[in-house]
Amino acid sequence: MKENVVLEMRNIHKSFPGVRALQGVDFTLRKGEIHALMGENGAGKSTLIKVLTGVYGKDEGAIHLDGCEGAAAIHSPQDAQKLGISTVYQEITLCPNLSVAENMFIGRTRGVGQNWKKVNADTDKILRSLDIPAKPTQQLESCSIAVQQMIAIARAVDMECKVLILDEPTSSLDEQEVEKLFGLMRNLREKGVGIVFVTHFLDQVYEVCDRITVMRDGQLVGEYAIKDLPRVQLVSKMLGKELDDMSDIKDEQQEYEKEEGIPPVLEAEGLVSDAGIKPFDFHIDKGEVNGFTGLLGSGRSECVRAIFGADRVTGGTVKMKGKPVKINRPLDAMKNGIAYLPEDRKMDGIVGDLSVRDNIILAQQVLRGFFKPFSKAEANKIADEYIKLLSIKTASADTPIRSLSGGNQQKVILARWLFTHPEYLILDEPTRGIDVGTKVDIQKLVLKLASEGMSVTFISSELDEMLRTCSRLVVMRDRRVVGELTKEDLNQNKVMNTIAGGEE
């Protein structure tokens, strides 16, 4: 093993039924470095970390640790901990109703007796050495989330940890708290701990990290020193698009000519929800297709959820066709002619045990009201009509939706919203995890609907798809809108540059 290397993962393979989650991934962590692990959804970051911490077994490959002869045997999270690999997750896994000192030492004592004076003194020493602003006797829940996070890290580090994994530790912190956390991370770096930092925030990576490993589709893209990888390059590597690859997208680009004198179908000003996005302005015209783009976690879904009232709206005004409206819950949005196909099909979209028929009529049925149910004959007619229209592959309208394939489930949800005859349709990742044929169908359908006068907001992780369908892109970074691109600016280079930001 090379000098200074604390952790070396070589040729890691891991498959789940139907998915090859990791295909020959290497990862190297050196002493005293902060190493960012980057990748979009499905890149394999979390699988890699779960293999490292013993949550999953690996199919192939080897893990070497500094100070261990041969390959390390990690079969359970306990093994990983014994070998000095600690993980701190996004959610705090400590006990809020115990004191700071108790949390630091819980589960680490031998025998029955416990010298609390000593424990408190030890804790105080650790907290001081790491500059954590908390008292040992303080109850954990009285500390801020950031401090709790830091205590979780301190606890992990104190257990003789050589490798510290921070899995999105900053998601629920504000800017000042993030600064404090970074201070602690730098402090630990000085002490020689190797830190793996998983985050979606580009700014944070460039602020605190020394090295970046990029993954995509279960494969290693490469390992880079931070100074050798400009932001745009990083974005391009994460998305798997070459910067100068202009391809033929120009020809397929959508142009949209606004009709004069008509107020926008929807116009939002300073809209903000409790899901952690910064206030944003947004508008969409009749027959327009636009989209939110940005990396995963940049806040694109949160924006459309705020428009639909799916998250709690905390501020801002919304006008529809020039008239102010109040949208506080999904039903308000639906009554105003807005439809929303959610990002997480399984959790938020389908009602699994209900039949395809019931899933199709659900939204319109709610709009019609409690006392006006569709008769069975009506419902069957509607279901058959949409099954035919969208060529949904199902044994019958009576089949439970959960037994359909992902693509067909998505079509059913699409049918549900089309049946409400919306003026404004929001599609959040409608093409994720479905086959290519269905993807193309959905894109075509979006363009057809728009030509018929429906306004559509389209979100996709695949930039090609967005560029093909949208005539305007709202670009997001770190939960705020950072740009809006139209016409000649709608190309991969420009989009990736705007997503990356910082150095134009």
Binding site for other proteins (CB under 8 A): 308, 310, 329-331, 334, 340, 342, 347-354, 358, 361-363, 365-367, 369-373, 416
Nearer to other proteins, 62 or 331 (CB): 331
Phi and psi at residue 166, to the nearest 5°: -110, 110
Per the DSSP assignment, residues forming a β-bridge with 196 are 35, 165
Q: Name the minimum Å distance from CB 473 to other proteins.
A: 25
Spatial distance between the Cα atoms of 420 and 360, rounded to a whole number of angstroms: 10
Spatial distance between the Cα atoms of 81 and 94, rounded to a whole number of angstroms: 16
Nearer to other proteins, 373 or 453 (CB): 373
Q: Name the minimum Å distance from CB 453 to other proteins.
A: 23
Nearer to other proteins, 67 or 373 (CB): 373
- In the numeric block, the tokens 């944070």 are attached to 204
Nearer to other proteins, 160 or 378 (CB): 378
Spatial distance between the Cα atoms of 334 and 320, rounded to a whole number of angstroms: 12
- In the numeric block, the tokens 């306990």 are attached to 78
Phi and psi at residue 240, to the nearest 5°: 75, 30
Helix (H, G, I), strand (E, B) or coil at 178: helix
Nearest to 498, CA basis, from 303, 289, 293, 301 = 293
Nearer to other proteins, 80 or 412 (CB): 412
CA-to-CA separations, 169 to 49, 177, 229, in angstroms, rounded: 14, 11, 23
Spatial distance between the Cα atoms of 14 and 19, rounded to a whole number of angstroms: 9
Nearer to other proteins, 186 or 329 (CB): 329
CA-to-CA separations, 73 to 5, 52, 58, 62, 63, in angstroms, rounded: 18, 10, 11, 9, 8
Q: Name the minimum Å distance from CB 338 to other proteins.
A: 11
Nearest to 361, CA basis, from 374, 342, 349 = 374
Nearer to other proteins, 105 or 308 (CB): 308
